[in-house]
Amino acid sequence: MQQRVKYYQTGTFTVGNRLLDEEKRTVQATKERNNSLTCGHRACQGCGEALGARFAIDAAMNAVNNKLIAVNATGCLEVFSTPYPESSWRIPWIHSLFGNAPAVATGVAAALRARGETKTRVIAQGGDGGTVDIGFGCLSGMFERNDDVLYICYDNEAYMNTGVQRSSRTPPGARTATTPPVGEHPGNSYNQGKNPALIAMAHNIPYVATASVADLHDLEDKVEKAMSISGARYVHIHVPCPLGWGAKPSNTIRLARLAIETGLFPLFEAEDGEIVDTTPIRKQQPVDEYLKLQRRFAHILKDPLALETIQAMADRNISRFNLVREMEVTNNG
């Protein structure tokens, strides 16, 4: 979290701020925001993904003058937003299969190009299962061809819609329906994990970023920047899931914030395969502050070795992305 202005009560830490010029507030603070994902959807109480999707798509709509088509992979977001015969999308939106959203988006972009509609842009979006597991082949292809699509992954760290099964984004130690802590088994295994943002960077695509629902200014800036670039782009947004994580619905933002402040979810940006910026931690926290609010980690809270291992992961991120450093004020009002 960056302090972008000095001394304006809450600065840019809140969604809006009456003391700031309007252009320094977020899109979400405006009365005119698009509400691309509108009410009546069936996401659970306190859904981080519903929030993340509205944040990102509203920012993208704002950046491209409302000329946008979204392609959606199967997953929570698709299911809760479009139970037949209702839709909560206020944008052109298409769903096809679980694993092919990047390929469908490639097709939409090609069709627009063929029709000469150069102003309309394409976003593909999905959860971590549809993106990092099932759709990963199509996604890699989309990157490799440098198709003019922004792919947004909403990462809630498991297959939540089908009943909380493990995905390759599920963190070590977490309990899911398929990784129950039984006997010696600690929940999800302590593996190396899979970091799709770093893999996307390995394709040398023009823009890759990670973002969080707990840092709205940063998220909107990244989406806006992504929409200003042509070619394949990837934004990975951390979206807590109260149901799957065993957390209070009111803790969604707090958890996303703690994931940043512990170092477990580093925020960074990369252009053409190189990291260009990382977001420093504002008030560093130990990992157990994050873990203890989630029942999926209840069984490891008294296991010092598990806590040490997870803290070591956080520490590695902190040193790798230089997350603990003097906060720079980027703009003084």
Partner 1 sequence: MDKPFAITLDIESSYSNHTGSWRTERPVYIDRLPPCNDACPAGENIQGWLHEAEEGKYENAWRILVRDNPMPGVHGRVCYHPCENACNRQQIDSAVSIHAVERFLGDQALKHGWKVEAGKDSGKKVAIIGAGPSGLSAAWHLRLMGHQVVIFEAGPMAGGMMRFGIPKYRLPREVLDEEISRICDLGVEIKLNSKIDDIPALMDEGFDAVFVAIGAHVARRTDIPARDAGTILDAVSVLQNVETGDTPPLLGRRVIVYGGGNTAFDTARTAKRLGASETMIVYRRNQEQMPAHDFEMHEAVDEGIMVRWLSTIKEIDDTSYKIEKMRLNDEGWPEPTGEFETIEADTLILALGQTTDSSFLEKLDGVEVERNGVVKVDESMMTGFPGVFAGGDMVPADRTVTTATGHGKLAARNIDAWMRGEKWQAGDRHEIAGFKHINPWYYTDAPKKLQPVLDIARRQSTFTEVVKGLDEDNALFEARRCLSCGNCFECDNCYGMCPDNSVIKLGPGKGFEFNYDFCKGCGLCAAECPCGAITMIKEPE
Applying the rule CB under 8 A, the residues between 252 and 311 that interact with partner 1 are: 252-254, 257, 283
Residue window 92-111: x/- pattern of binding to partner 1, with contact defined by CB under 8 A: --x-----------------
Answer for which of 24, 41, 169, 233 binds partner 1 (CB under 8 A) is 41
Answer for which of 31, 115, 119, 302 binds partner 1 (CB under 8 A) is 31
Q: CA-to-CA distance for 260 and 217, rounded, in angstroms? A: 14
Cis peptide before 242 (omega within 30 of 0): no
Answer for which of 21, 23, 84, 116 binds partner 1 (CB under 8 A) is 84
CB of 323 to partner 1, least distance (A): 17
Nearer residue to partner 1 within complex by CB, 41 or 203: 41
CB of 118 to partner 1, least distance (A): 24
Q: Is 333 in the site for partner 1 (CB under 8 A)?
A: no
Nearer residue to partner 1 within complex by CB, 124 or 232: 124
Answer for which of 17, 72, 100, 317 binds partner 1 (CB under 8 A) is 17
Q: Which alpha helices (DSSP H) does 185-286 contain, by range? A: 196-202, 216-227, 242-245, 252-262
The amino acid occupying position 32 is E
Nearer residue to partner 1 within complex by CB, 94 or 229: 94
The DSSP output letter for 90 is -
Burial environment of residue 315 by CB neighbours within 10 A (0 to 12, 13 to 18, 19 or more): middle
Q: Is 40 in the site for partner 1 (CB under 8 A)?
A: yes
Q: Is 7 in the site for partner 1 (CB under 8 A)?
A: yes
Question: Which residue is associated with the tokens 């989630």?
Answer: 294
What is the torsional sign of CA 253, 259, 260, 261?
Answer: positive
Q: CA-to-CA distance for 244 and 43, rounded, in angstroms? A: 12
